[in-house]
Amino acid sequence: MPATVPHAALLGLGVDRGKRVVPNSEVIEAIDSSDEWIQQRSGIKERRWVGPGQTLETMALAASQRALESADIAAQQLDAVLVATCTHTMQTPALAAKLAHQLGTEGPVAFDISAACAGFSHALGLATDMIRGGTARHVLVVGAELLSAMTSRTDRGTAFIFGDGAGAVVVGPSEVPGIGPVVWGSDGEQYDAIRQSTDWRDVLASESPVMPYIQMDGSTVFRWASFEMAKVAQQTLDRSGLTVDDLDLFIPHQANMRIIDAMARAIKLPDHVRIARDIAEQGNTSAASVPLALARMYEEGTARSGDLALMIAFGAGLSYAAQVVRVP
């Protein structure tokens, strides 16, 4: 086993987006809605869905290979592969095991994490503790989702929200803190506020089975996220010994532009902190949303290597996880 090290850090990032750009005009063909309503209420202008040849697996693999390349780490150096997803339709084996094999790794620990939109940030918390605890030296953390396959085209409350994509980071040992303490938890009283529409057993028992989809009580989730997550963001800063003034970037889960703005206002984010707004063009990609949002900030020149970022993710469970990181 690797020796314990004082800290962990992000070493590299890679992403893969759904290739098909789906504008609001296409989504509203099947629901009573409008481009204007969707933009005003969610901030979404278009979303990315998988194109020809793309699957959950191809996106996870492409993002992982890019992350390894950017970290300059060989697949054989990975001690662990953690995949956060809620749209891998095989109950077993884990997507992580297959991905580890496809990458050419040499027998790392490999498992999936089911924490929905907060999954990537949970996996990052775990990876950090594994590295600091000496049970792994290099960990690949992947968030991957193919939500278009689990979206009802006719459910007015969700048809316009979700997107497809994958994001991956390589986490490794560091002499200086690169990933701060995770603040995480859940509110089980609201465990069904976001849920799979039908249990698989009921799907199979049905005379005309249809693919289950993600259902949610939108306004319940909206209120919880806007108020409770701002408190979690503040706790994360406090536990890291930082204030909002120390931050360069704010990268919240891309659930709704109004939630992002409400959180930024609640924690009194100063003007110099750049805010991730990937949702406008990508939609909500659940476990993939935080790394995809960071990638867009690099592409647009609003994030630079070494910037200090507050990342916070939340979703079904209701679960949440947040940490401050130095971006690679």
Q: In terms of CB distance, is 125 or 315 closer to ligand COA?
A: 315
CA distances in angstroms from 81 to 28, 48, 141, 146, listed in the order given: 38, 25, 6, 19
Residue with tokens 């996996």: 123
* 23 contributes a contact to ligand COA by CB under 6 A: no
Q: In terms of CB distance, is 171 or 310 closer to ligand COA?
A: 310
* 31 contributes a contact to ligand COA by CB under 6 A: yes
Q: In terms of CB distance, is 54 or 158 closer to ligand COA?
A: 158
Strand, helix or coil for residue 198: coil
CA distances in angstroms from 298 to 10, 165, 200, 266, 322, listed in the order given: 15, 17, 40, 26, 20
Q: Is 24 a catalytic residue?
A: no
Binding residues for ligand COA, total number by CB under 6 A: 21
The catalytic position among 24, 138, 253, 256 is: 253
Interatomic CA distance for residues 249 and 236, integer angstroms: 14
* 194 contributes a contact to ligand COA by CB under 6 A: yes
Q: Is 122 a catalytic residue?
A: no
* 219 contributes a contact to ligand COA by CB under 6 A: yes
- Residue 144 near residue 83 (C-beta atoms within 8 A): yes
* 58 contributes a contact to ligand COA by CB under 6 A: no
Q: Is 284 a catalytic residue?
A: yes
| b/e map 150-160, b = 16+ CB within 10 Å | bbbeebeebbb
- Residue 17 near residue 48 (C-beta atoms within 8 A): yes
Where does the chain have alpha helices with state H?
Answer: 24-27, 35-42, 56-71, 95-103, 119-133, 200-205, 218-240, 257-266, 279-282, 289-300
Residue with tokens 């590295």: 131
* 216 contributes a contact to ligand COA by CB under 6 A: yes
Name the one range near ligand COA by CB under 6 A: 17-25, 102-110, 130-138, 211-219: 211-219
Name the one range near ligand COA by CB under 6 A: 11-19, 61-69, 213-221, 236-244: 213-221
Phi-psi domain of 306 (left: phi exceeds 0; alpha: psi -120 through 50; beta: other): left
Query: Two tokens at 123?
Result: 């996996």
The catalytic position among 88, 117, 122, 256 is: 117
Name the one range near ligand COA by CB under 6 A: 16-24, 88-96, 130-138, 157-165: 157-165
* 315 contributes a contact to ligand COA by CB under 6 A: yes
* 256 contributes a contact to ligand COA by CB under 6 A: yes
Q: In terms of CB distance, is 140 or 287 closer to ligand COA?
A: 287
- For ligand COA, the binding residues (CB under 6 A) are 31, 33, 37, 41-42, 117, 156-157, 160-161, 194, 216, 218-219, 221-222, 255-256, 284, 314-315
Active site residues: 117, 253, 284
